[in-house]
Amino acid sequence: MSLDLNLLRVILSVYDHGGIAAAAHALDMSQPGLSAALQRARSALNDPLFIRGSKRMEATERTRRMLPSLRLIMETVDRDVESAAEFDPGSYRGEFKLALTDAGEAILLPSVLVALAKHCPNADIRSMSYTIPELQSAMEEGAVDLALGFFPDLSSVNYYKQVISTQSFCCLISADHPIRGSTISREEYFAGDHVLVEGQSPSEELLENFLARQRARRKIVLRTPHFMSAPAIVARTQLIATVPDGVANIVAMMSNPRIVRAEFHMPRFDTCVYWHPSMQEDAKNRWLRRTLVAELRGRLSRPGHGERSA
């Protein structure tokens, strides 16, 4: 015997409404379609299920015995399966788990908090940091909802992404640095003393690879693993820090250091929202990524465009 869920719904609807026409209307089916489905259920169960009464279709004894189990099955499906296709941000009280780098956290997380406070006020947010292999495993296992920022290694596997901004690099120098203009020349850049952030930042790796291809080397005076300490160091020294635009936008809210733009070409990169293919049709994840993309594009200085699979 094989019964699909649609046949169970047909049986319950005929019982509840007492006839083919009313049951078909309730299920948004045609009468011939419902009659055919009822006939398949009768054949599968080897029972007429309903017989015509004076005023309505009357259930057989077999149908009456099945009714409690059928209702329980359909209530469970409606609650645990079909309701999962919907997401109500206003009533959600769970946790959103986001993967960010330290720079990405400083750039993006304030806007994420504002957006979720507005649209999903009862949710908690957990910011998480991973190496790329750890991040891939966490996203495969569903332990991370979205990765936010620049994660080029995720583009080499079957992930989805949506661009929220395109950035390049600029330089931070102190207010009393000898470079007085708003730009820095190639000669000034490579003649100066630099602070280098060493760590797992994909954007810093992008810059280092770019400079290596140019056969150009900076004079590194200080190496530090902490991206967000660079502005404070630069403000009190004559060092130059090369940082993504997003970091510079945060620094712009401070009185010191100053931002200068390179007069020569610097690489560009996309800040994105990434998600695993297993989350593509998940209602909560779909709402979260659409909401954050819309909010972050509106808040970041250089919005990107389009959705594409990685």
Q: Which domains does the chain have, with CATH numbers?
A: 5-85 (1.10.10.10), 95-166+269-309 (3.40.190.10), 169-262 (3.40.190.10)
User: How confident is the model over 18-43, as a mean pLDDT?
Assistant: 90
Of 119, 120, 97, 121, the residue nearest 109 (C-alpha): 97
pLDDT at 29: 86
Confidence class for position 84, pLDDT limits 50, 70, 90: low
The bridge status of strand 146-149 relative to strand 269-275 is antiparallel
Better-predicted residue by pLDDT, 86 or 225: 225
Which range, of 90-94, 146-150, 183-187, 288-292, averages the lowest pLDDT?
Answer: 90-94
Average pLDDT, the chain: 86
User: How many helices (H) and strands (E) are present in the chain, helices listed first?
Assistant: 11, 14
The pTM for the full model equals: 0.66
Tens of pLDDT, residues 147-169: 999 998 886 667 899 999 999 99
Whether the predicted pLDDT of 79 surpasses 70: no
Q: What are phi and psi of 260, to 5 degrees?
A: -125, 145
CB 147 within 8 A of CB 160: no
Q: Are 292 and 149 in contact (CB under 8 A)?
A: no
Instruction: List Cα–Cα distances, 58 to 11, 29, 49, 72, 161, in angstroms.
Output: 12, 21, 8, 21, 55
Going from the C-alpha of 84 to that of each of 19, 206, 271, the distances in angstroms are 31, 40, 30
